């Protein structure tokens, strides 16, 4: 064999062996390194540390808190010109490198050295995405090496288009805008599809120093950056000369807006959610954030309730509405006032108001538990107990009256007599079992029977929900599920929320609910009567008409309404106003429920 031919074959064989060895080494090394790195799939579900997303029960966004991307462009829907602008501005060789561009790093070093300041960065779009999702913003060699390794892994596991779209949905662009959709809204009140070329170029120019180049802070610098981006787009062939000239000469036409979901669509409810979160999660979990919280709120019902309180509450009175699902304790509606922007005080959870006659359920439940029956006869007349002399409305007394009629007509004397018969301990214990008086204690005074001790709308409504649930009290909650980073379930209603307790016997609750339906059918709560379904409810008015209440239930929902003035002055009105508000709300949502009857009294 020819020696030259033998040598040539040896060279070819050696080259093939060496090439194969290098290829296998790269594969082996790549897999070995990959095993120590996070899964690239995390990018698709990334939520920033400290961010909290609050969702309604049907997954609609109520509010986004913290450094959150408030709106993202759906996969495959990112405008092409937006992609081109950011590639030209941030990583012109994006489609040619494999995650790290050493040519761009070298060029940036030379440029920065010549200008004696940082003009260009060497990080690719892939590196920036890796840093945003997996790393901190610390500047040190260890973080940079991790960033490079992660960038290579992203390029191996994701397409260029996937990487670019995820980057565009998460990059910080100043003024609370995370991602192109947020930025389009914050600076121009537009969607990405509606942006003009000059607007896209301006936003793309923000990425290196978003706070510094923000047009809301430094408009002149923002325009200079826009010019640079347009020149790069022209040079890359992404736009033609005519498009360039028109955009280059365009004036800066900003139309600023707050980020979407920055303001809550149910602010009184979400303020309560924020107060309840620390009771379920640790300080570390709250600090790390990345929380996705499915709340109990029915956003459609909430908007209807808010509109009714705003538009139909009499005069300058304030109002509150709370709706609770009796068999779960889930709070479906919470309105704490007319205007959250004007006054953040939550009258549903924070205001302590006298519940008036709505409190009478407790002495009545205690009495029925002791064997007193609805048909038992009492004497309604002016009387005193240890110097306390209650008066009926209008100073009217009925003489002989059944227990059910006394309740239906809300006679104060009979409520106090029941308290006297069964004792303070029994009535207070009954209220406590139904969630009332545990935080704000009840005193042993005869005026207790007719609601002299102030309570919240939330607590009183939850007590009525316990009655509706046939005596099983479930603590009210605004949470259905809480998920943390990596979509891990941190809390779930079905497994973590305290189970209900049989606060009162079922037959007692059934009897009480029957009496409550009589109140609405032909008693003081008649204003709340619904033609097509039974309603169990009770009115309440504090001394001087300072507080107007109605708490009413259908078998599937208990709703409490309170009206009054913040300064506690007299309303010069009656509880029928609250009952009317309750009815207006229920008429809006009653079609959501099957018509059911309350269980027959035992």
Q: What DSSP assignment string belongs to 420-462?
A: HHH-HHHHHHHHHHTTSSSSSPPPS-GGGGGT-S-B-HHHHHH
Q: How many residues does the chain have?
A: 602
- pLDDT attached to residue 228: 96
Average pLDDT over residues 312-338: 96
Query: CB of 444 within 8 A of CB of 424?
Result: yes
Average pLDDT over residues 234-243: 97
Residue 116 has pLDDT above 80, yes or no: no
Please tell me the pTM assigned to this model.
0.82
CA atoms of 257 and 280, how far apart (whole Å):
34
Average pLDDT over residues 157-179: 94
CA atoms of 344 and 340, how far apart (whole Å):
5
Query: CB of 71 within 8 A of CB of 179?
Result: yes
Across the chain, mean pLDDT equals 90
- pLDDT attached to residue 88: 96
| φ, ψ at 399 (rounded to 5°) | 70, -130
Give 120's pLDDT tier (boundaries 50, 70, 90): low
**284-288, 466-470, 540-544, range with the lowest pLDDT:** 284-288
Structure tokens at 389: 């002399």
User: Could you tell me the residue ranges of all domains in the chain?
Assistant: 76-248, 300-592
Q: Could you tell me which of 529, 510, 511 has the C-alpha nearest to residue 519?
A: 529
CA atoms of 525 and 540, how far apart (whole Å):
9
Compute the CA torsion angle 534, 516, 440, 411 (nearest 10 deg): 150
Higher pLDDT, 138 or 22: 138
**244-253, 278-287, 348-357, 506-515, range with the lowest pLDDT:** 278-287
Q: What DSSP assignment string belongs to 197-238?
A: HHHHHHHHTTTTSHHHH-TTT-HHHHHHHHHHHHHHHHHHTS
CA atoms of 171 and 210, how far apart (whole Å):
10
**113-122, 179-188, 437-446, 560-569, range with the lowest pLDDT:** 113-122
Average pLDDT over residues 408-421: 97
Structure tokens at 589: 């949502």
- pLDDT attached to residue 137: 60
Q: Which residues contact 409 (CB under 8 A, 6 or more apart)?
A: 398, 401, 523, 524
CA atoms of 473 and 479, how far apart (whole Å):
17
pLDDT > 70 fraction of the chain, expressed in percent and rounded: 89
Element (H, E) at 562: strand 557-564
Q: What share of the chain is helix, strand, coil (3-state, %, to 5)?
A: 50, 15, 40
Query: CB of 358 within 8 A of CB of 539?
Result: yes
- pLDDT attached to residue 486: 81
Structure tokens at 538: 């009770």
Residue with tokens 């979509």: 487
| φ, ψ at 320 (rounded to 5°) | -145, 145
Which class for 414: exposed (0-12), middle (13-18), buried (19 or more C-beta within 10 A)?
buried
Average pLDDT over residues 376-384: 97
Query: CB of 52 within 8 A of CB of 66?
Result: yes
Residue 321 has pLDDT above 90, yes or no: yes
Average pLDDT over residues 361-380: 97
- pLDDT attached to residue 66: 87
| φ, ψ at 40 (rounded to 5°) | -65, -20
Distance of CA 266 to the CA centre of its chain: 8
CATH number of 300-592: 3.40.710.10
Query: CB of 410 within 8 A of CB of 523?
Result: yes
67 DSSP assignment:
S
Structure tokens at 5: 């031919």
Residue 319 has pLDDT above 70, yes or no: yes
Element (H, E) at 154: helix 141-157
Q: Which residues contact 539 (CB under 8 A, 6 or more apart)?
A: 356, 357, 358, 410, 519, 524, 525, 549, 550, 575, 576, 578, 579
Distances (CA, A) of 26 to 20, 31, 280: 10, 8, 47
Give 22's pLDDT tier (boundaries 50, 70, 90): very low
- pLDDT attached to residue 123: 86
CA atoms of 126 and 166, how far apart (whole Å):
10
CA atoms of 524 and 542, how far apart (whole Å):
15
CA atoms of 501 and 304, how far apart (whole Å):
32
Element (H, E) at 379: strand 377-380
Residue with tokens 């104060």: 412
Q: Which residues contact 111 (CB under 8 A, 6 or more apart)?
A: 119, 120
In angstroms, what is the C-alpha Rg of the chain?
34
- pLDDT attached to residue 111: 62
CATH 1.25.40.10 fits 76-248, yes or no: no
Give 438's pLDDT tier (boundaries 50, 70, 90): very high
CA atoms of 510 and 326, how far apart (whole Å):
14
Average pLDDT over residues 129-135: 86
CB atoms within 10 A of CB 258: 13
| φ, ψ at 116 (rounded to 5°) | 60, 25
Average pLDDT over residues 194-207: 97
- pLDDT attached to residue 5: 54
Q: Could you tell me which of 92, 77, 285, 254 has the C-alpha nearest to residue 179?
A: 77
């Amino acid at each position: 064999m020819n020696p030259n031919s033998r040598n040539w074959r040896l060279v070819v064989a050696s080259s093939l062996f060496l090439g194969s060895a290098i290829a296998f080494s790269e594969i082996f090394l790549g897999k070995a390194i990959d095993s120590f790195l996070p899964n690239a799939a995390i990018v698709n579900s990334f939520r920033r540390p400290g961010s909290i997303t609050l969702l309604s029960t049907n997954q609609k966004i109520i509010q986004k808190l913290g450094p959150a991307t408030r709106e993202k462009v759906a996969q495959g829907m990112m405008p092409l010109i937006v992609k081109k602008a950011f590639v030209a501005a941030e990583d012109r060789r994006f489609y040619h490198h494999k995650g790290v561009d050493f040519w761009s790093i070298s060029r940036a070093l030379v440029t920065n050295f010549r200008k004696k300041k940082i003009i260009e960065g060497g990080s690719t779009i892939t590196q920036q995405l890796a840093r945003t999702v997996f790393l901190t913003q610390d500047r040190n060699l260890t973080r940079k090496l991790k960033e490079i390794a992660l960038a290579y892994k992203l390029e191996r596991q994701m397409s260029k288009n996937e990487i670019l779209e995820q980057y565009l949905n998460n990059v910080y662009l100043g003024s609370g805008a995370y991602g192109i959709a947020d930025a389009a809204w914050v600076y121009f009140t537009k969607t990405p599809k509606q942006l003009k070329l000059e607007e896209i170029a301006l936003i793309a120019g923000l990425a290196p120093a978003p706070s510094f180049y923000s047009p809301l802070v430094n408009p002149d610098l923002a325009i200079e950056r826009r010019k640079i981006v347009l020149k790069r787009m022209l040079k890359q062939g992404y736009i033609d000369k005519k498009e360039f000239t028109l955009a280059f000469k365009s004036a800066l036409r900003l139309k600023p807006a707050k980020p979407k979901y920055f303001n809550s669509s149910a602010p009184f409810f979400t303020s309560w959610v924020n107060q309840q979160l620390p009771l379920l999660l640790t300080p570390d979990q709250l600090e790390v954030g990345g929380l996705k919280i499915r709340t109990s709120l029915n956003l459609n019902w909430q908007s209807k309730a808010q509109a009714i309180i705003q538009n139909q509450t009499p005069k300058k009175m304030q109002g509150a509405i709370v709706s609770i699902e009796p068999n779960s304790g889930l709070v479906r509606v919470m309105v704490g006032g007319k205007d959250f922007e004007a006054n953040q005080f939550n009258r549903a959870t924070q205001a302590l108001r006298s519940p008036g006659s709505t409190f009478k359920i407790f002495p009545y439940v205690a009495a029925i538990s002791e064997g007193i029956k609805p048909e038992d006869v009492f004497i309604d007349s002016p009387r005193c107990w240890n110097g306390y002399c209650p008066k009926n409305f209008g100073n009217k007394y009925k003489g002989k009256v059944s227990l059910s009629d006394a309740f239906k007509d809300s006679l104060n004397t009979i409520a106090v007599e029941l308290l006297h018969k069964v004792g303070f301990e029994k009535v207070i214990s009954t209220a406590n079992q139904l969630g009332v008086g545990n935080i704000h204690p009840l005193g042993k005074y005869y005026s207790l029977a007719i609601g002299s001790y102030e309570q919240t709308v939330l607590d009183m409504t939850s007590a009525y929900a316990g009655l509706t649930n046939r005596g099983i009290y479930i603590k009210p909650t605004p949470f259905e599920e809480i998920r943390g980073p990596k979509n891990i379930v941190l809390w779930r209603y079905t497994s973590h929320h305290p189970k209900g307790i049989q606060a009162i016997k079922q037959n007692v609750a059934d009897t009480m609910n029957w009496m409550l339906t009589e109140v609405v059918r032909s008693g003081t709560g008649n204003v709340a009567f619904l033609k097509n379904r039974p309603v169990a409810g009770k009115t309440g008015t504090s001394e001087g008409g300072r507080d107007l209440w109605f708490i009413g239930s259908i078998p599937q929902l208990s709703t409490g309404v309170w009206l009054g003035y913040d300064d506690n002055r007299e309303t010069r009105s009656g509880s029928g106003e609250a009952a009317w508000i309750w009815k207006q709300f229920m008429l809006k949502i009653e079609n959501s429920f099957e018509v059911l009857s309350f269980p027959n009294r035992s």
